[in-house]
């Protein structure tokens, strides 16, 4: 299992913003901004595509306001898989669209 699991269970190593940041690729930032702008019906600028994982100081703009991240950090937990209330309504919004995140969190929960 990957070691860079976000609070919500997503694998940060697989995130396009993370990949663009660690490789310092402006081309990947542009491609990601274009893809996410279409996907989320918004206007995401390439210069905002910077992230080193949700437990870092370098975050994509959405991650700064993520309720899952806030909850996990407020509880002093690495991720929701370590929470006694997993799976709660807060994280379910992501998990219903990202089954791989659920698998990651379930593995973490069962490993404790």
Question: For 20-34, how does the pLDDT look when each residue is reduced to its tens digit (9 = 90+)?
Answer: 999 999 999 999 999
pLDDT at 2 over 80: no
3-state secondary structure at position 60 = coil
87 preceded by a cis bond (ω within 30 of 0): yes
Assigned token pair, 89? 């309504």
Cis amide linkage into residue 39, ω under 30° from 0? no
Q: Does the pLDDT value for residue 1 go beyond 80?
A: no
Model's pTM, two decimal places? 0.82
Question: C-alpha angle 49/51/52, rounded to 5°?
Answer: 155
Confidence at residue 102, expressed as pLDDT on a 0 to 100 scale = 94
Confidence of residue 112 (pLDDT cuts 50, 70, 90): low
**Average pLDDT, stretch 5-22?**
93
| Annotated domain spans of the chain | 12-111
- Residue 79: how many CB atoms within 10 A of its CB? 24
Kindly report, residue by residue over 42-86, the tens digit of the pLDDT: 899 999 999 998 888 898 888 888 899 999 999 999 999 999 999
Distance CA 55, CA 63 (A): 10
Token couple for 85: 């209330």
């Amino acid at each position: 299992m990957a070691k860079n699991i976000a609070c919500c269970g997503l694998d940060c190593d697989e995130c396009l913003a993370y990949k663009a940041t660690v490789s310092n690729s402006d081309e990947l930032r542009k491609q990601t901004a274009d893809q996410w702008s279409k996907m989320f019906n918004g206007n995401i600028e390439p210069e905002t595509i910077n992230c080193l994982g949700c437990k870092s100081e370098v975050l994509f703009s959405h991650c700064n306001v993520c309720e899952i991240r806030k909850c996990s950090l407020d509880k002093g937990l690495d991720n929701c898989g370590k929470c006694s209330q997993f799976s709660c309504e807060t994280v379910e919004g992501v998990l219903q669209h990202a089954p791989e995140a659920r698998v990651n969190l379930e593995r973490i929960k069962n490993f404790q």
